[in-house]
Amino acid sequence: MADSKIALITGANRGIGKEILISLSNDGFTVIGTSRSQQGIDDVNNVLKSTNGSGCGVIFDVTDKNAVSTLNEKITSEYGKVSVLVNNAGITMDNLLIRMSDKEWDEVIDTNLTSIYRITKEFVKDMMKERYGRVINIGSVVGVSGNAGQTNYSSTKSALLGFTKSLAKEVASRNITVNTISPGFIDTDMTKKLKDSQKDMLVKSIPLGRMGLASELANVVGFLASDKASYITGENINVNGGLYM
């Protein structure tokens, strides 16, 4: 384990990110949780208060190229070097390919993929100097299975698998592990957009017979961030109730 237990989670104010915040805070990490809004930051700070945890919320848009080094400087000066990076923030803008606009393509690629290139590059440099680190990417079942109406989104999540394996090979000698967790359908704002009829059909195709809880994802992040996962790298862990095996 690193001397400093400092975790950074992108998109920590709600959904899966919020449960990861609770889990890592309960495990004794100082956690920096990002959101794009002041309300989101207040929510992160309230969660940290409720867990008696240390850390704080920071406003950060993952698509803002220039904000990444500022974020690192702020965390380093106030808390120390980040040892666990959780790339969680993500969006969907679904459409069939023939109807997809450039905006829908570009925004999803930029938010879900290019941001991870930039953020990971910034923080992994410090991990290399510290000779310790954990990078945990949140992918998706549709990155392995594909899904009609999600060519943009599933492309980003498939790409994460290649990114994860390649980076894992680059940094393994510095005691840094890089893994992806690919959730199935988890009950958050992202899936609230689905119609009830769509949800019913989906649930029927899940062997465990229900949507997942964000906390069930967070448990796996907690494991990968811990010393118990010290020999796992370049992996994709499916957490999908058996939807895709």
Helix, strand, coil proportions of the chain in percent (round to 5)?
50, 15, 30
Is residue 111 a contact point for ligand NDP (CB under 6 A)? yes
Is residue 88 a contact point for ligand NDP (CB under 6 A)? yes
CA distance 92 to 112: 9
Stretch (H or E) spanning 56: strand 55-59
Is residue 183 a contact point for ligand NDP (CB under 6 A)? yes
CA distance 86 to 9: 5
Residues in the chain: 245
- Examine the residue annotation and report whether 231 is marked as an active-site residue of this protein: no
Is residue 62 a contact point for ligand NDP (CB under 6 A)? yes
CA distance 234 to 83: 17
**Min dist. Cβ of residue 109 to ligand NDP (A):** 12
**Min dist. Cβ of residue 3 to ligand NDP (A):** 29
Strands 55-59 and 84-87: unpaired
Q: Which of 7, 8, 9, 14 binds ligand NDP (CB under 6 A)?
A: 14
Stretch that binds ligand NDP, among 21-29, 61-69, 93-101, 219-227 (CB under 6 A): 61-69
Is residue 220 a contact point for ligand NDP (CB under 6 A)? no
Concatenating the DSSP letter of every residue in 70-106 gives HHHHHHHHHT----EEEE-------B-GGG--HHHHH
Q: Which of 7, 8, 17, 67 binds ligand NDP (CB under 6 A)?
A: 17
Q: Which residues are catalytic?
A: 153
Task: Give the residues lining the site for ligand NDP (CB under 6 A).
Answer: 10-11, 13-17, 34-37, 40, 61-63, 88-91, 111, 138, 140, 183, 185-186, 188-191
